[in-house]
Amino acid sequence: MPLNLRIFVLFHDYFFLILCLTIFAITPVVQAADVRSFCKCVCDQNSTIVPLRINQTCSDCNLAFCKENTSKEDCDIPTCFQRDSYKDEVIVYFYIIITSGLLLIALTKPYIERWWRRTNPPHTYTSMPNS
């Protein structure tokens, strides 16, 4: 088996195993990811963003909620919005990790091949007499 093929098979086998384990480890995290809701209270030209608790919904984002959490009386516009979930973050980080791993393999491959050739010299074969 040629050297390039042996190194590819070695990296390919372990990379596939690590990829599978990572996917199985991330699956519960991704399924449990909820979207966080926030209430933006605009009071006197200032805006304050207050995170809603898990048991609160966007219907709780009203003038009374803004007055209670900002301690200002003249709040005008309460607005509820949702940020990206943890699932999106996990997908982005997973993409960055895989891309970095592939770049690392591409950068170290020549050095690994050179090391492999030095530690495992090619075998020389001689023909048998009378064959």
Does residue 107 sit within a domain? yes
Q: Dump pLDDT digits (tens) for 91-116.
A: 888 899 999 999 999 999 989 888 88
- Which residues are paired to 80 by β-bridges? 39
Give the C-alpha distances (Å, rounded to integers) separating 3 from 14, 15, 72, 105, 115: 17, 18, 72, 16, 11
Q: What are phi and psi of 77, to 5 degrees?
A: -125, 110
Question: Are residues 42 and 76 both part of a single domain?
Answer: yes
Domain containing 42 equals 37-82
pTM over 0.85, yes/no: no
Question: Are residues 14 and 43 both part of a single domain?
Answer: no
Record the tokens describing residue 131, joined without a space. Answer: 């064959």
Count of structural domains, the chain:
2
Question: Are residues 78 and 45 both part of a single domain?
Answer: yes
Integer distance in angstroms from the first to the last C-alpha of the chain?
Answer: 25
Q: Quick one: DSSP state of residue 73?
A: S
Q: Dump pLDDT digits (tens) for 51-90.
A: 888 888 889 888 888 888 887 778 888 889 887 767 777 8
